[in-house]
Amino acid sequence: MSSQSNYHYPDALGHFGKYGGRFIPETLYAPLTELENFYRKIKDTPEFLSELEFYHKEFTGRPTPLTFAENLTKHYGKAAVYFKREDLCHTGAHKINNAIGQILIAIKMGKKRIIAETGAGQHGTAVATVCAKFGLNCTVYMGEKDIQRQAPNVARMKLLGASVVPVTSGSKTLKDATNEAIRDWVTHADNTHYIIGSAVGPHPYPMMVRDFQSVIGTETKEQLQQITGKLPDYILACVGGGSNAIGIFYPFITDESVRMIGIEAAGEGTETKKHAATLGKGSDGIFHGMRTYLIQDDKGQVIEPHSVSAGLDYPGVGPEHSYLHDIKRVQYVSATDKEALAAVKTISRTEGIIPALETAHALAYLEKLLPETKSGEIVVVNMSGRGDKDLATIMNELHIE
Ligand SMILES: *Cc1c(COP(=O)(O)O)cnc(C)c1O
């Protein structure tokens, strides 16, 4: 691999190599430019950084621990495994890191209303939470099908005071909810901020979401340094839109010895049509305002993805991952529904941690990776969220008595 010491992405126009950019209706050009300029102006100021740190400490629950997976490590007798515990964040996943960052920006820009899209309801819950805390009006778009399969998160959002708008177009899932949120923003951008839930969408969102999530990697680096005095040899993270993965990868991109692996959802298998392995099986296209890899047919129509985990069930991926894939800085692999479900059981019973189904895809890959590692090496897995929201699915699929 060539040296990454000059990794400065995105460029001024929001490009990661040929990916990213801004493919949008003309009415969104002004609000996106306003957002970008405002964000660039304050993002590195000591005032903003200390405000963010304050809320992370007293509300999000940061820094999250880096836990040594002692039993798993002993079982394989090879590399030492550590979990970065985003499952211990308030609301149960890494999504709140981005929601807090963006709402602080929205408030400073004078916005009174927040909108968001959600699939499994984790991002919607994080946004409803910060809206309640900071007193902003909150509308969450959610596919009708997802509303039915994710009832506990719908209840959480409503209890927090958000209005949840059912989306009945298309497949009634995440991509349709995103279309609806964009449509709302086109007509209300003057008083409304749109909080996107992953490192996707038009510039500056992929950059901004990455920056807010990179607290995960920054903390990991410091914590591992304190515990072992070393850098990790491997970092693993699951990839849906790619926000938890880019959050833990980004601070290590210029550390060439660190091997980074993103795990996509292979659903029922990448040889079938029922998967969500965008980088593994997709091709270059334009979707939700960005140029990126996309699961599409030969006419450029998006193919409906499939995964047992609603959070990975997205036909696109963040443009920075498309770039990191092409330059081979990150290796992208996949795990099936079955492998992820098995990993939920294994990790619950060996380590006493019930992972989210999304996270379980990254954990499933340990079974392939660990036998190939050497003792003395270090593997960090981003534990992106906890499995409470998935209990009904897990118990149903695993037939646990
Ligand atoms: C939403 C979610 C994901 C997938 O989103 P990314 O943007 O790819 O991180 C992964 N894990 C959990 C627990 C989630 O809630």
- Segment 106-156, tens digit of pLDDT: 999 999 999 999 998 999 999 999 999 999 999 999 999 999 888 899 999
On whether the CB atoms of residues 278 and 315 are closer than 8 A, the answer is: yes
pTM of the model: 0.97
Give the confidence band of 5 by pLDDT, cuts at 50, 70, 90.
low
Peptide bond into 204 cis (omega under 30): yes
CB atoms within 10 A of CB 268: 15
Q: What is the pLDDT of residue 149?
A: 82
Q: What is the pLDDT of residue 58?
A: 98
Q: Are 260 and 353 part of one and the same domain? A: yes
The residues annotated as belonging to the active site are 95, 117, 384
Tens digit of each residue's pLDDT (9 = 90 or more) over 182-204: 999 999 999 999 999 999 999 99
* Mean predicted confidence (pLDDT) in 366-392: 96
User: 211 CB under 6 A from ligand 1?
Assistant: no
The Å distance, Cα 297 to ligand 1 centre, comes to 25
Give dist(CA 108, CA 103) in Å, integer.
9
Tens digit of each residue's pLDDT (9 = 90 or more) over 232-241: 999 999 999 9
Length of the chain: 401
Higher pLDDT, residue 260 or 399: 260
Q: Are 127 and 247 part of one and the same domain? A: no
Tens digit of each residue's pLDDT (9 = 90 or more) over 304-327: 899 999 889 899 999 999 999 999
Q: Are 233 and 380 part of one and the same domain? A: yes
Q: Are 77 and 100 part of one and the same domain? A: no
| Last-in-domain residue among 156, 190, 209 | 209
User: 240 CB under 6 A from ligand 1?
Assistant: yes
Tell me the torsion sign for CA atoms 42, 47, 51, 54. Answer: positive
User: 356 CB under 6 A from ligand 1?
Assistant: yes
The Å distance, Cα 336 to ligand 1 centre, comes to 16
Strand 290-294 relative to strand 330-336, pairing: unpaired
On whether the CB atoms of residues 117 and 288 are closer than 8 A, the answer is: no
| Last-in-domain residue among 192, 209, 226 | 209
Q: Are 141 and 285 part of one and the same domain? A: no
The 15-16 sheet, strands edge to edge? 15-16, 19-20, 290-294, 283-287
Task: State both tokens at 143.
Answer: 């596919």
Tens digit of each residue's pLDDT (9 = 90 or more) over 335-376: 999 999 999 999 999 999 999 999 999 999 999 999 999 999
Tell me the β-bridge partners of 194.
115
Q: What is the pLDDT of residue 325?
A: 98
Give dist(CA 290, CA 340) in Å, integer.
29
The best mutation among 140, 214, 243, 261 to test binding of ligand 1, ranked by most ligand atoms within 8 Å of the C-beta, falls on: 243
| Last-in-domain residue among 161, 177, 209 | 209
Q: Are 238 and 118 part of one and the same domain? A: no
Task: Give the residue numbers spanning the domain of 155.
Answer: 2-55+95-209
pLDDT higher than threshold 90 for residue 401: no
The Å distance, Cα 161 to ligand 1 centre, comes to 23
Q: Are 101 and 82 part of one and the same domain? A: no
Q: Are 106 and 181 part of one and the same domain? A: yes
User: 87 CB under 6 A from ligand 1?
Assistant: no
Give the confidence band of 328 by pLDDT, cuts at 50, 70, 90.
very high
User: 243 CB under 6 A from ligand 1?
Assistant: yes
Tens digit of each residue's pLDDT (9 = 90 or more) over 158-173: 999 999 999 999 889 8
Whichever domain contains 11, its CATH number is 3.40.50.1100
Q: Are 123 and 138 part of one and the same domain? A: yes
Higher pLDDT, residue 47 or 2: 47
Angle between helices 151-159 and 122-134 (to 10 degrees): 10
| For the chain, percent of residues with pLDDT exceeding 70 | 99
What mean pLDDT value characterizes the chain? 96
The Å distance, Cα 28 to ligand 1 centre, comes to 26
Q: Are 108 and 186 part of one and the same domain? A: yes
